[in-house]
Structure 1
Amino acid sequence: MPHPEGQGEFSAMRLWPASVFISCMLLGVNGFAFVMQGAVMLHNPTDMGADKEQATTFLTGDGPIMNEIYRPQFHFTARKNWLNDPNGLVYLKGEYHLFFQHNPFGREWGNMHWGHAVSSDLIHWQELPIALSPDSNGTCFSGSVVVDKDNTSGFKNGEEDVLVALYTGEGHGQCVAYSNDRGRSWTRYEKNPVIPLWPDRDPKVIWHSPTRQWIMALYIEQGSRTGTKGIGFFSSKNLKEWTCLSEIGGFYECPDLFPLPVDLDPQKIRWVVLGGDGQYLVGQFDGTSFKPESELLPLDLGQNFYATQTYSDIPPEDGRRIQIAWMRGGEYPGMPFNQQMTFPCELSLRTTPEGIRMYRYPVKEIEKIAGQRHSWKEISLSPGKNLFDGIHHDLLDIHIDVKLQQNHRFLLRVRGAEISYNAETGKLVSLGKEADLPPVEGRLRLRILIDRTSVELFGNEGRVSMSSCFIPGSEEFSLTCEGGPLDISQIEVIQLNPSPGAPPLDEKK
């Protein structure tokens, strides 16, 4: 659970007394508050099945939700107030679950709860009631969720597969909660914490099939074996009793651990261990220890990318490794919410001249919100000309495929954000951040996702990823070049349709 910049030390939990709100029990249109453990929890009418018009109105009457000037339209944000780390990314019965660090009482970090949203397509999200609230084991810091298909925990009660969450209770250690109704309600394990280690935190749990055991990757402040910050690996047969196996240094917060085939070859599997900032190692994991085969590598070179996590329990017939991160540090002046997630991306391992590297690319579901398209093929762009003259839209999916000469430089401006490429130096620059991206056989391929407050850039099919936030400063949309005519193999600009929340999902799935 990362600490936001500029917030000082972790603050103690602040639960507001119910008496503060006695005169405010009736809120907005059909909104209401209820008191729990001395604190007031605000309930949105969407949680009670209100009609669509009511569901898109803030309880305070501030106007339509999801369409404010700085509200992202195809990136997840909480309806109101603060969010940070994605937590408990898990797939079950047609639903992608996104739990997240959430302060339901304000726009700044604090009072950590687990917010909860679900989606059938990774695009349209329905925010559900709070999943986990603070208890005697502290506020609810980051963690993960798994589907315990074989009921190894013994928590199953009914026909549904049981979901088991492992999270950090601030000041106490690693705790367990479980759900028998697809994440709609949760029960705490009575013997929490199951690993009484603090400030170690952010447990990521996976099922390791070869050894038939659960493995936890846990951020450790000071390893007993390495003596440094890093990741500790633990094992369990039942998600309740854990044994420390090994440690690896050099990582900070929000670990992740998963296997991927290299070049889509199922016979060539490598494991990846990730830290919260996206730094990763490629190597081997035998169920006990991780053996690196690479140096520490950056996954994303943008200015707003942190607390990355990937989905568990994606069906084998899908097989994708899908990742979401927190776009830490974005600014949203005057908005009722604060912070956003990245767009979901698929991860893959590919062989490059430098070795095996991880690629990151938007999930295919973005096609669901594709609108009007503008395309150019096999043309030449002259210096001083703007290819995108006359196009005005704030939500874009831009595909660029160009042939480069050594002296070429081109510049893309979108609503005040600037992206440039210099063929002579091989440098790609996005909102002031720089990455090396050499052309492949004389060609450069870029993909850029533009939302109202974010730019996500993917170079050469995801070899380079740069995730950044911005505040729009103009309506300009231009592509220009220097150093001679730019040979364009293909460029496509897709105007994206807003995706302001999903209709209620079928509760019978």
Structure 2
Amino acid sequence: MNKVLLLLFAVTSLTSSSRGIENPYNYPFDNRGNPLSDVQLEDEWSTFPLYQQVGYNQPLRPQFHFTSQVGWLNDPNGMVFYDGEWHMYFQHYAKGVKNGIKSWGNAKSTDLIHWTQFQHAINPYPNVVGGDRPHAIWSGSAVVDRHNALGKQKGDVKTLFALYTATNPNGFFQGGAYSTDKGRTWTKINDGKPVIPFQEGYAAGQRDPRIFYYKPGKFYVTIMMVGGEKREVRLWKSTDLLNWEYIMDIPDKSAECIDMYEIPVDGNVNNTRWVISNAGTRYEIGVFDGRSWNGYGERDEDNRPLRFDYGDSYYAAQVFNNAPDNRVVHIGWLHCKEFYRPFIEANMPFTQQMSFPAEVTLHSTDSGIVLRRNPVKEIERLYVKSDAFDHGKLGEINAELAGLSPELIDMTLRIKPDADFVLNVRGLPIKYDLKRQVVVFNNSQRGTAIAEASKAKKKNSPQPFNPRHQYGLKEIPAPLQNDRVSIRVLVDRASLEIFVNDGQAAGSFVIVPDAENRSIQLSGADGQSVESIVVNELKSIWGK
């Protein structure tokens, strides 16, 4: 039986009423997220042709955040810009909406807003280092082979090169792959054998290689978690992308999805600093000269690197290599590991989503260099209606807001508070605590899910469950600046992203707003003065 007939069989089977499965989206798993056992393709991972049966307008489908058409996604991988395209690969379980064996999913955009998904880039393959378990394809990164170091370039089209983690029971290793057709299809280096072998004496799960080009030295650098007693990350360098020379270890940095990138300070390309972040949750600013790292960035009260995000859903973030105009564009995984039951119960063909792309910048201040993260300017292409109100009291502003009913929102409030207030967006209450100068949000949906899981886990545990613990409560630093605070909010069908004081702090949350609630209101002392509030209604990135 040829491949076409097998695909036809799979689609026909999925829609058969005799199976007793209500499955209106034609995806290859049942309404509990489990793979259907009789979906058998010539290549068991080539499920992508079935995706074409699935649209993007399901009730819980994010409308301006990237999701896979079908299946589970997590970490963004292989982020690289080349020839007008932003390439985003991602951890992808192709055969279910629950976490499973990973491939690299494959998506591209010309504007950072609208994404087209392609056939999976790198799939699991048979064990090549001894053993009978196949290698799953875990996180990694990609670069442009600038000077044809691999010798694979075809014509004027540069080769793309990726490093990925290949799982293995006896210790993970880092494999390589290349693409000669602008990232559409990929070929494994040396049939998937190690490019960077397992590092003996360190953690078995060493993973997530982050590769970038170091221009002053004209070589490529890879940084990766190796763990061990000193919780180290390791750096190597290479000029040919295949042979890697040890540079150094940095202690106390061991974390998944380590990222490292250079940023101009105040936009000055002659004055740059480097940032190391651990999965996009905390970051440190420092200096890197190709041989050594000197981190000196500001730290919190516990002497830990500062938080990149103060919410409960932002993880595994990575920046795009080779971005134009010295931009540093960042995307993370908005995860809902404890809170994806609603998606399965609603029979969604997907779970998990990416954060909205954000630009990371560094700025000089009296207290040192600070990092800011703001939604990319391209979001303005999605605006279909904008309403602005300024210089009014809360009651006056609320009267104006009462006439608005957007579903998808990008809005900014600037206010000079003299008391606590609450910005309520589609039923999501975002509180400002003036005394403590923090934005407070209680992600009650996720908090309830985590509490239930924790309660079940501790049922037979000597550690008692504390029902008073507010699992969903998060605080975002929001110090007054010239007696004012600004709060920017993005709301989609399954997420809330908050940016405070022009991106000096942020918080990201997976949460499902009430579909019937389209209101925006402020509550607090009526005499408080609102400097400005701008509400932009967005259109979907998916079209009809």
Task: Tell whether the 8 Å contact from 2:10 to 2:40 is kept in structure 1 after alignment.
Answer: no
Aligned-partner Cα distance in 1 for 2:392–2:256: 47
Aligned residue in 1 for 2:465:
none
Which residue, 115, 131, 153 being the options, matches 1:156? 153
Aligned-partner Cα distance in 1 for 2:518–2:539: 19
Task: Tell whether the 8 Å contact from 1:262 to 1:351 is kept in structure 2 after alignment.
Answer: yes
Classify the secondary structure of the residue corresponding to 2:326.
Answer: coil
Please say if 1:400 is aligned against 2:413: yes
> What code does the residue aligned with 1:461 have?
D
Aligned residue in 1 for 2:208:
202
Using the size of structure 1 for normalisation, the TM-score is: 0.85
Between 1:277-286 and 1:28-37, the stretch displaced more is 28-37
Aligned-partner Cα distance in 2 for 1:387–1:30: 44
Q: Which runs of 5+ in 1 are unaligned?
A: 1-18, 47-54, 59-64, 503-509
Which residue, 89, 94, 100 being the options, matches 2:84? 94
Q: 1:258 Cα deviation (Å)?
A: 0.8
Q: 1:393 Cα deviation (Å)?
A: 2.0
Query: Residue 22 and residue 76 in structure 1: after superposition, are their counterparts in 2 closer, same or farther (change >3 A)?
Result: closer
- Residue correspondence of structure 1 range 434-473 to structure 2 within 5 A: 434-473=475-514
Aligned residue in 2 for 1:193:
194
Task: Tell whether the 8 Å contact from 1:413 to 1:476 is kept in structure 2 after alignment.
Answer: no
User: Which structure has the highest helix share of the two?
Assistant: 2
Between 1:121-130 and 1:197-206, the stretch displaced more is 197-206
Classify the secondary structure of the residue corresponding to 1:190.
Answer: helix
Q: Which runs of 5+ in 2 are unaligned?
A: 16-24, 29-38, 128-134, 199-203, 300-304, 443-472
Which residue, 253, 263, 267 being the options, matches 2:266? 263
Aligned residue in 2 for 1:311:
320
Please say if 1:499 is aligned against 2:541: yes
Classify the secondary structure of the residue corresponding to 1:382.
Answer: helix
RMSD: 2.6
Please say if 1:376 is aligned against 2:417: no
Offset from partner CA, 1:122-179 (integer Å, 9 cap, x none) = 1111111111101135111000011102011223244310000110111140011001
Please say if 1:73 is aligned against 2:60: no
Aligned residue in 1 for 2:424:
413
Deviation above 6 Å: which 4+ runs of structure 1?
19-22, 27-34
Offset from partner CA, 1:373-427 (integer Å, 9 cap, x none) = 221022222399565223222200111111222xx22211223322111222211
Aligned-partner Cα distance in 1 for 2:525–2:8: 68
| Count, aligned residues | 461
Query: Residue 201 and residue 484 in structure 1: after superposition, are their counterparts in 2 closer, same or farther (change >3 A)?
Result: same
Between 1:327-336 and 1:372-381, the stretch displaced more is 327-336
Q: 1:439 Cα deviation (Å)?
A: 1.3
Task: Tell whether the 8 Å contact from 1:428 to 1:435 is kept in structure 2 after alignment.
Answer: yes
Aligned-partner Cα distance in 1 for 2:179–2:499: 37
Which residue, 104, 111, 136 being the options, matches 2:126? 136
Aligned residue in 1 for 2:10:
24
Q: 1:101 Cα deviation (Å)?
A: 0.3
Q: 1:36 Cα deviation (Å)?
A: 4.2
Aligned residue in 1 for 2:241:
239
Q: 1:447 Cα deviation (Å)?
A: 1.0
Task: Tell whether the 8 Å contact from 1:383 to 1:482 is kept in structure 2 after alignment.
Answer: no
> What code does the residue aligned with 2:209 have?
P
User: Which structure has the highest strand share of the two?
Assistant: 1
Please say if 1:297 is aligned against 2:297: no
Task: Tell whether the 8 Å contact from 1:146 to 1:164 is kept in structure 2 after alignment.
Answer: yes
Q: 1:250 Cα deviation (Å)?
A: 3.0
Aligned residue in 1 for 2:458:
none
Between 1:492-501 and 1:114-123, the stretch displaced more is 492-501
Task: Tell whether the 8 Å contact from 2:6 to 2:42 is kept in structure 1 after alignment.
Answer: no
Identical amino acids, percent of aligned pairs: 33
Classify the secondary structure of the residue corresponding to 1:367.
Answer: helix
Task: Tell whether the 8 Å contact from 2:406 to 2:518 is kept in structure 1 after alignment.
Answer: no
Task: Tell whether the 8 Å contact from 1:96 to 1:118 is kept in structure 2 after alignment.
Answer: yes
Task: Tell whether the 8 Å contact from 2:280 to 2:318 is kept in structure 1 after alignment.
Answer: no
Which residue, 104, 116, 129 being the options, matches 1:114? 104
Q: 1:273 Cα deviation (Å)?
A: 0.6
Offset from partner CA, 1:206-232 (integer Å, 9 cap, x none) = 01011111100111122xxxx233321
Which residue, 227, 230, 233 being the options, matches 2:232? 230
Aligned-partner Cα distance in 2 for 1:40–1:282: 40
Q: 1:476 Cα deviation (Å)?
A: 5.3
Between 1:89-98 and 1:259-268, the stretch displaced more is 259-268
Offset from partner CA, 1:460-484 (integer Å, 9 cap, x none) = 1100111111122361523223245
> What code does the residue aligned with 1:457 have?
I
Classify the secondary structure of the residue corresponding to 1:368.
Answer: helix
Aligned residue in 2 for 1:12:
none
Task: Tell whether the 8 Å contact from 2:287 to 2:295 is kept in structure 1 after alignment.
Answer: yes
